[in-house]
């Protein structure tokens, strides 16, 4: 039996554990991991300074990546998309990917309290191992825009809770 190619999407606040889950999901056969932060830091190493910059450059990356992601899914590969599915708009874009490929999808919602995310963020910043260092003010700004998925959006949601 052949597994149906699946687009795995990740939703959760900054430092909720999205990349950790993404790496775990990508360990499956015929699965590729695509990481937004790695692409953004390689393509736009000095351009992203504000939330508006982030929105602008992420849209450019999405436009460039969409056809490639559709091709991967059509070729039988599952894709773990380590792009934050944190707004209705970002999830609508992701829908165009799996629907364009005729692939299955899973939206992994990592439900982690903000105070735990902030603590993890401080540890991540201190480690110096992440592509981006995020300040408390930036964390607050991104968190204000965070919208958990709703049933009305029609995604196949898997909830991961952490405390």
pLDDT in tens, 76-100: 999 999 999 999 999 999 999 999 9
What pLDDT score was predicted for residue 125?
Answer: 81
Q: How far apart are CA 5 and CA 72, in angstroms?
A: 9
CATH topology of domain 6-161: Rossmann fold (3.40.50)
C-alpha distances in Å from residue 83, one per residue of 1, 39, 147:
30, 10, 15
Residue for token pair 């602008």: 56
């Amino acid at each position: 039996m052949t597994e149906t190619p699946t687009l795995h999407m990740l939703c959760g606040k900054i430092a909720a554990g999205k990349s950790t889950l993404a790496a775990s999901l990508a360990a499956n056969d015929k699965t590729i991991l695509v990481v937004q932060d790695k692409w953004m830091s390689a393509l736009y190493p000095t351009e992203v300074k504000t939330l508006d910059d982030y929105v602008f450059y992420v849209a450019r990356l999405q436009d460039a990546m969409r056809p490639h992601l559709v091709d991967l899914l059509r070729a039988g590969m599952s894709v773990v998309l380590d792009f934050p599915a944190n707004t209705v708009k970002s999830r609508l874009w992701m829908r165009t990917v799996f629907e364009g490929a005729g692939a299955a999808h899973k939206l992994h919602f990592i439900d982690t309290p903000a105070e735990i995310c902030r603590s993890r963020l401080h540890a991540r910043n201190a480690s110096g191992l992440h592509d981006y260092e995020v300040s408390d003010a930036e964390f607050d700004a991104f968190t204000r825009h965070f919208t958990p998925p709703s049933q009305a959006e029609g995604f196949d949601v898997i909830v991961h809770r952490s405390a």
